[in-house]
Amino acid sequence: MPTFFIRRAGSPAAASLTDAVAALRSRQPEIAREDPASSIITSVCELPEREATLTPVPEWVRPELAAAYRAKGISQLYSHQAAAAEAIRGGGNVVVVTPTASGKTLCYNLPVLNAILENPDRRALYLFPTKALAQDQLAELHDLEERLGDAFAVFTYDGDTPADARRAIRERGHIVLSNPDMLHAGILPHHTRWLRLFENLGYVVIDELHVCRGVYGSHVANVLRRLARIARFYGSEPQFICSSATIGNPRELAEKLAERRFELVDEDGAPAARKTFVFYNPPVVNRRLGIRRSYLGESRRVAQEFLARGLQTLVFANSRLHTELLLTYLREANPAPPGAPSSLRGYRGGYLPGERREIERGLRAGRIRGVVATNALELGVDIGSLDAVVMAGYPGTIASTWQRAGRAGRRTAAREGGCAVLVASSAPLDQFIITHPEYFFGQSPERAYIAPDNPEIFLNHLKCAAFELPLQAGERFGATSIDEPAEALESAGFLHRSGAAWHWTDEAYPADAISLRAVTSDNFTIMDTTGGEPEVIGEVDFASALTTVHPKAIYLHEGATYAVDRLDFDGRKAYVHQVESEYYTDAILYTQVRILEQAARKPAAVRQARIPDPALAGQRAAGNAPAAASHGDVLVRSQVVGFKKIKFFTQENVGAGELELPENEMHTTAFWITLERDLVAALPFSVSERQAGMRGLLHAIEAVATLLLMCDRRDLSAAIGERPPEPGRPEASPALEETADGRGLEEFFEPNLYLYDAYPGGIGFSEPLFQMSGEILDRVGELIARCPCESGCPSCVGPPESEMRPKQAALAILELLKQPSG
Amino acid sequence: MRWLNHDRVRAVSALRRVRAPARLAPLAEDPCEGRARLPELLGAEVARNRYGEFLRVRQWLAEPEPLEDAEVLPRLLRTPAEAEEPGDSKRWLFLDTETTGLAGGTGTCAFLVGLGWWERGGFRIEQLFLRDYDEEHAVLLALAERLEERPVLVTYNGKSFDWPLLETRFRLTRQIEPHPPRAHLDLLHPARQLWRVELGTARLAEIERHVLGLDRGPDILSDLIPQMYFDFLRGGSPEPLVPVFEHNRGDLVGLATLARRLARLGNAPESGGPLEQYGLSRLFERAGDRAQARRVYQMALGAGLPRAVGMAARRRLARLARRDGESELAQSVWRGMAEGSEDAEQGEDDAERKQTLEAILEACEQLAIHYEHRERNGQEAIEWTRHAIALLVDAESGFGLERRVRDRWRTSLERRLLRLEKRSA
């Protein structure tokens, strides 16, 4: 168990930690008692120390393995480790939910190694989301390998593995440590070379399961379908073992990802240090506009409270740029003695591996007093535990926040405890979390979703599957019979049917063209013609191409500005040349949503979904509710019709242009709320204020939805449109996308507020959003109501345009739509 | 699946091909008729085994004639000792495949397996063809049977391409497990050694034309072959396949002729040109036949090699001679190199000049070592060391070695000089 008993000379007394927390608390203004909106410290949560729940090592563990662990100082197991090991031993698929530093690797290493020692033919495949994690695990397993007298062999297999080492790994590796991308493009398409592995594959371990969500998770699910298919071909049926950070639906995610039943082990038997968790909201400096003091500056102040008291501190920033900025600030405040290296370091992707290892060692040894890091340090890299963690900005998900906070808290005998501080930015998500501590500390509401049957993703992996082994008629890929999709691929020329099987008939190697990080690989290449010969300087995906590299756009790349001369739509190329520009461009995008098929409908404010009543679908109202929630398939048409020129720094609008670009169509899935005519008519606001209120409401819904779905803001898009007279009818009223500049503003009598998946085919968000529409609206109400701004700000409904009251209008709409049927 | 029943499936980009399939052949008016015409068109017969039918083309050619003294070939190729009788050319099976792609991986298939062997004083060719993927098992079984009869494979680049691909295909059957070949003679490596310098390529067709004097007549672009097969599978007319079969036969004949040529050169190096001899001697050296290697290096040098190649040959010869205790031979080669130091000024390009210079420096250094330790002639040793340093200094002003290499030479030479001068003083 990775418990870190590190004693450092001159280590600060627990008192200095208490001092630092007291100093933070003293920043709370007096007025906060009467006016919670001005609160800076919105929550201080004391998490008590917890003793370990220990159980003996199970009897079935082979004596040499038990001895190897004993020699590492582990003679008993935490209760969750024992529970997981027993469940795996029992032959089940297991998902283990474990907080940071609770000894999760033992959960799978113990039963897997035991099985290999019992039968040296046994093989296991471990999949990690990053190469760094695989390296970390390699060190741990090498140590055990040595203690067990080389009774098993373990290797990493990734893009860095030298070609001459690969053969040995394929033949001799009992445990192969890799990642889903390598499995997809490097292992499965060459499975005959991995005969030994696949014939004897007993275990597949998926580490950091919660990372497998959205687009990436949907790809990984398909890679696992292919893996299971190949394993079956060689006669093996591996068990799956997943480890996950705390999320709301770990078991559901595992079952959807691996398409089999899982046992959940989530009771944590690891000890925990006493910890103080502080929520810190930078003070408001302009009430009316809802402007707060810079969270980066505040994070620096908070971190300084710890560093000044000699406490080892880890600061997390959400981007590389912010990492560098904070590091500079903190070094200025803590100059190193002349000639000595600074004891404050940065840590992010882009640093060399050797440099990273040196920082990790420095942290463990106490030589380094402070580190400013990106999420590169969030996942299981071994750095020991520190006194304090400061998060500059909400990490985006509750799970990540806990993982980062888990870095604080020593469990040393004399002075124990730790402190984690979350400093909120003014983004809606940050503001929601910081003002809803109960939401954070309660049961995790975050749920991870995937859509393995997204047509793009499904078909791309079906191609790879056909390359790996011919598709047999009647075969299933996931739950889907492959016959129809295979016929579609056949008529497109990728497959050829011979007898009862479809064979791959293309010279290209399909996995090469498919990235697990994107839905399609349909990208535009950016060609720089500044130097005469066109030179490739970058790529943008199809969807962003229309808004970022349209003709006359200013394209930003590596800090330089380029003017776009020509967009070659068919050749998927944009020609640019470098210019000195004082402005950048912001495309004006018109978006229109057409409903193709409504899957279900219910009153919007209901918290739990009812079984959709087909009799209601398509009717003008869901019961008598003032607003209905629906989900289904939609066609999104978008067109860039013009652009604005915005001056750097001042953000002044310095001009505009019109464009005629082809319309882009995308079939996807959407969740939408329909506001009934009566509701809209009952609003005591002007027409334009109503529209602003609707847009503001949608802005807040989008923020809350990304919170609940653990997704990126770019994964969802929003649009408003007049409800079509009859769903499914081709005629639809025009809708305005929220970035539109207000031209052609028209009154909506019965608007639909759409939230659609920003990927062709949909990525599985719409139905969950529909199911939780009641909860979403409750949260949206809280977010807007608790925001201290006057009439709207970027933290709640978006910035108000002149003289409008979007905040009040949005709250009035929410009030009305929650009223019981009338 | 809900989405598939919708017209939207056409919009899915996963179904769009980056390169539209350039259909090379028109669709046959009647695909069944086209297929039926195939045997006659190719002069093929329908063969059968327990996995079903496939097409087989058999031809016997009077040329190339069987190879008698073949033992030298496996020796030149450093065939592992455990191989059984790789020199018995009656057990050789020439192999060349036509495939659905060059990418490799489990989705690439060999649709035409061309085999050849010596028979009745001539060359027998047998081509196994799958008219569709479901005939693959039958073809693989037929190949496994041939391989049992003749277990020594002879290929061109087959070690990295054809054979691993076929191994994958065998594995994918989960049923047919051929005996692994007893030996595998891949002629690409020796051909490269012998002719790439001269031809600038080691493509079999070029070697045939320029070295073996074979003329294939019009040949197809091999890049087009996969698409020709795909077109046929999808109901294209069978005519475009005829040149694919011819191309495959051409490769087999070229391969057998090449084997004869290599064996003759191996048995009688004097029959080759100087560059061929130089390549041969390197093969002998790699194969561990050092006496023969020395002999052929000298033969090549005697016949006259281009300057740069000659320098490389002398360097190798001298090293070999020293290792084998042929001190006098080594001396004379080094002396020749060191005395012809004006060579260092010439050369096609910087790379060549650098190589030449380093070879000369090595020769001077070796001579110094020789005089110091063997002859105990300190003065002579000092002379050669000084000579080398002078060359190095000259070289610095004109064309240069990289600083790293130059510094290394300089340090080692100056250290030697210092030691020698101290001792003689």
pLDDT for residue A380: 62
Q: Which of residues 422-461 of A touch B (CB under 8 A)?
A: 453, 455-456, 459-460
pLDDT for residue B4: 53
A702, pLDDT greater than 80: yes
pLDDT for residue B218: 79
- The pTM is what? 0.83
| A488 touches B: beta carbon within 8 Å | yes
Coil, strand or helix at A748: coil
Q: What does the alpha-carbon distance between residue B299 and residue B317 come to, in Å, rounded to a whole number?
A: 11
Contact B18 A467 (CB under 8 A): no
The average pLDDT across A712-736 equals 65
Coil, strand or helix at A14: helix
Lowest pLDDT segment from A419-423, A525-529, B347-351: B347-351
A647, pLDDT greater than 80: no
Contact A192 B3 (CB under 8 A): no
Is residue A730 reached through a cis peptide bond, with omega within 30 degrees of 0 on the bond before it? Answer: no
A375, pLDDT greater than 90: no
A168, pLDDT greater than 80: yes
Q: What is the DSSP-derived secondary structure letter of residue A194?
A: G
Contact A492 B15 (CB under 8 A): yes
Residue bearing the bigger pLDDT, A416 or A508: A508
Residues of A in contact with B230 (CB under 8 A): 493, 496, 505-506
pLDDT for residue A492: 86
Residue of B nearest to A477 (CA): B1
Residue for token pair 């070999």: B320
B315, pLDDT greater than 70: yes
Q: For chain B, list the domains and their CATH numbers.
A: 22-267 (3.30.420.10), 306-424 (1.25.40)
Q: What does the alpha-carbon distance between residue A237 and residue B48 come to, in Å, rounded to a whole number?
A: 36
pLDDT for residue A744: 44
Contact A761 B233 (CB under 8 A): no
CA of A261 vs chain B CAs: smallest distance (Å):
22
pLDDT for residue A71: 92
pLDDT for residue A291: 77
The average pLDDT across A14-42 equals 79
**CA A579: distance to chain centroid?**
36
A512, pLDDT greater than 80: yes
Residue of B nearest to A465 (CA): B107
| A504 touches B: beta carbon within 8 Å | yes
Contact B107 A467 (CB under 8 A): yes
The average pLDDT across A148-153 equals 90
pLDDT for residue B83: 63
| A19 within 8 A of A399, measured Cβ to Cβ | no
User: Which residues face B201 on adjacent strands?
Assistant: none
The average pLDDT across A688-717 equals 85
A337, pLDDT greater than 90: no
Interface probe, candidates B9, B15, B108, B228, chain A, greatest A C-beta count within 10 A: B15
The average pLDDT across A339-348 equals 84
Lowest pLDDT segment from A357-371, A486-500, A652-666, B17-31: B17-31
A730, pLDDT greater than 50: no
The average pLDDT across A285-300 equals 83
Residue bearing the bigger pLDDT, A447 or A461: A461
The average pLDDT across A154-158 equals 90
pLDDT tens, residue by residue, A465-506: 999 999 999 999 999 999 999 999 998 889 999 989 999 998
**CA A237: distance to chain centroid?**
30
Residue bearing the bigger pLDDT, A426 or A519: A426
User: Which residues face A527 on adjacent strands?
Assistant: A536, A575
Residues of A in contact with B225 (CB under 8 A): none
Q: Which of residues 704-763 of A touch B (CB under 8 A)?
A: 760-761
Contact B15 A459 (CB under 8 A): yes
The average pLDDT across A693-719 equals 86
| B256 within 8 A of B116, measured Cβ to Cβ | yes
Residue of A nearest to B107 (CA): A467
Contact A460 B102 (CB under 8 A): no
**In Å, how far are A780, A786, B291, B375 from B326, measured between CA atoms?**
92, 95, 11, 15
Tokens of A332: 């200025």
pLDDT for residue B188: 93
- Please name the member of B6, B12, B100 whose beta carbon is closest to the beta carbon of A507: B100
Contact A761 B3 (CB under 8 A): yes
pLDDT for residue A743: 43
pLDDT tens, residue by residue, A754-791: 999 888 888 888 988 998 898 899 989 988 888 877 78
Residues of chain A above pLDDT 90, percent: 32
Residues of chain A above pLDDT 70, percent: 89
Average confidence score pLDDT of chain A:
84
pLDDT tens, residue by residue, A29-61: 777 777 777 788 888 898 888 888 999 999 999
Q: What does the alpha-carbon distance between residue B10 and residue B16 come to, in Å, rounded to a whole number?
A: 9
pLDDT for residue A338: 83
| A674 within 8 A of A752, measured Cβ to Cβ | yes
